[in-house]
């Protein structure tokens, strides 16, 4: 007899995305097909040696291939495994990669024509999971992984990356305007964007700051020759969280009374009046509110935006095709190796 009445029910399971053959592994073959095999299959963990296929420009001796720019021809998982397991490359790659950018097939109903609809997504998800697991081993503690995708798999890929890296290591979903013109033949919406899913190796990762653009800096003026430099009114003056001890009334020099915002002011009354005396905080013309100056000198580093819509700065697909033709008209300075 169960005598646990009144006790909280026991919960099992976890939130996850499941798919056909999730517990299996995939093997890639030279004909481009993928075949399901058990994870214990010896071929899954097989390390492919990298053999020189050619070289262009000045390269180091054969004993220092890992120090050169490498172009590896072959399946991505085999290449990643080789970098992680072959001592020659392992020393400079394992746990030392600062940034990994992945540009997989978008699975737009054309990437895997030999599979039916149910297996098409499963092949893609398994392929991505296994490669992301290997990428994670290569990342440095301060490293990040950036995966380029579109709406075909973005929502599922996010769940897979949560499983591989941990949801706490999610950084951002960048929306990139990838088209410079709309699709006039679209039956519903013209899809003009792609995504970059960004995950960090460590949940403590902090991004570098970017200098303000000329447009951002143009917001800052200095009409009153403030010795602290260009400024604009815009920083919040209210507390972000409810603070009863910061709910006090400000009595202006003209005798007006300014009631506190719902959460209270951002500072103690003593600090507020000191900032008023220093000129950082000012009363508006009719003394019914206060304004806080934001100084350019305090914003030399700004966080990157997750919205990339400036085509002049981030480019677009049609432009990229032209740039690639200019970059690769022929052979480039690199060492080409292949797996076997």
pLDDT (tens digit per residue) in 154-203: 999 999 999 999 999 999 999 988 776 776 676 777 777 889 999 999 99
In a domain, 8, yes or no: no
Q: What is the pLDDT of residue 316?
A: 61
Q: Are residues 64 and 159 in the same domain?
A: yes
Residues 331 and 193 in one domain: yes
Question: What pLDDT, on a 0 to 100 scale, did the predictor assign at position 60?
Answer: 76
- Domain membership of residue 309 (yes or no) is no
For residues 44 and 120, membership in a common domain is answered with yes
Q: Give the domain extent around 227.
A: 214-298
Kind and range of the H or E run holding 155: helix 154-165
Q: Is residue 40 part of a domain?
A: yes
Has residue 234 got a pLDDT over 70?
yes
On whether both 272 and 164 belong to a single domain, the answer is no
Q: Which pLDDT does position 330 carry in this prediction?
A: 53
Average pLDDT (103-125) is 68
CB 136 within 8 A of CB 145: yes
Q: Are residues 68 and 186 in the same domain?
A: yes
Q: Give the dihedral sign, CA 54/58/59/61.
A: positive
| Cα atoms in the Cβ-side hemisphere of radius 13 Å centred on 17 | 17
The mean of the pLDDT values for the chain is 83
Q: Confidence band (pLDDT; 50, 70, 90) for 115?
A: very low
- Provide the pLDDT for residue 139: 96
**Cβ burial 92-109 (10 Å sphere, 16+ → b, else e):** ebbeebeebebebebbee
Question: What does the pLDDT look like over 323-337, one tens digit per residue?
Answer: 666 665 554 444 334
pLDDT score, position 339 = 40
Name every residue whose Cβ is closer than 8 Å to that of residue 337 and which is 6 or more positions away in sequence: 50, 51, 52, 53, 65, 70, 71, 72, 73
Distance CA 196, CA 146 (A): 6
Provide the number of structural domains found in the chain: 2
Same domain, yes or no: 185 and 333: yes
Say if residue 193 is in the same domain as residue 223. Answer: no
Statement to judge: residues 219 and 77 lie in one domain: no
Residue at 19 is within a domain: no
Task: Verify that 113 and 189 share a domain, yes or no.
Answer: yes
Phi-psi sector, 28: left (phi>0), alpha (psi -120 to 50), beta: beta
| Prediction pTM value | 0.72
């Amino acid at each position: 007899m169960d005598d646990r009445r009144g006790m909280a029910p026991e919960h099992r399971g976890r939130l996850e995305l499941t798919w056909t053959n999730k517990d299996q592994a995939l093997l890639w073959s030279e004909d481009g097909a993928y075949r399901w095999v058990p994870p214990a299959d010896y071929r899954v963990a097989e390390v492919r040696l990298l053999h020189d296929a050619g070289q262009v420009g000045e390269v180091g001796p054969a004993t220092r291939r890992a120090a050169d720019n490498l172009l590896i021809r072959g399946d991505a998982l085999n290449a990643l495994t080789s970098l992680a397991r072959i001592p020659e490359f392992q020393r400079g790659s394992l746990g030392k990669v600062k940034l990994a950018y992945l540009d997989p097939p978008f699975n737009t109903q054309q990437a895997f024509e030999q599979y039916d609809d149910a297996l098409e997504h499963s092949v893609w998800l398994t392929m991505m999971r296994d490669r992301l697991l290997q990428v994670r081993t290569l990342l440095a503690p301060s490293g990040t992984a950036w995966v380029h995708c579109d709406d075909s798999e973005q929502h599922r890929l996010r769940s897979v990356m949560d499983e591989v890296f941990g949801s706490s290591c999610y950084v951002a979903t960048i929306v990139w305007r990838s088209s410079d013109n709309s699709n006039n033949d679209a039956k519903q919406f013209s899809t003009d964007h792609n995504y970059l899913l960004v995950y960090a190796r460590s949940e403590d990762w902090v991004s570098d700051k970017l200098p303000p653009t000329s447009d951002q800096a143009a917001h800052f003026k200095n009409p009153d020759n403030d010795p602290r430099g260009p400024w604009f009114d815009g920083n919040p003056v209210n507390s972000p969280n409810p603070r009863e001890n910061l709910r006090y009334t400000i009595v202006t020099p003209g005798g007006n009374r300014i009631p506190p915002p719902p959460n209270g002011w951002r500072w103690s009354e003593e600090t507020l009046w000191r900032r008023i005396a220093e000129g950082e905080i000012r009363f508006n013309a009719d003394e019914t509110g206060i304004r806080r100056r934001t100084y350019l000198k305090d914003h030399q580093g700004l966080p990157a935006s997750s919205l990339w819509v400036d085509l002049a700065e981030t480019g677009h697909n049609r432009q990229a095709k032209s740039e690639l033709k200019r970059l690769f008209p022929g052979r480039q300075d690199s060492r080409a190796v292949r797996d076997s």
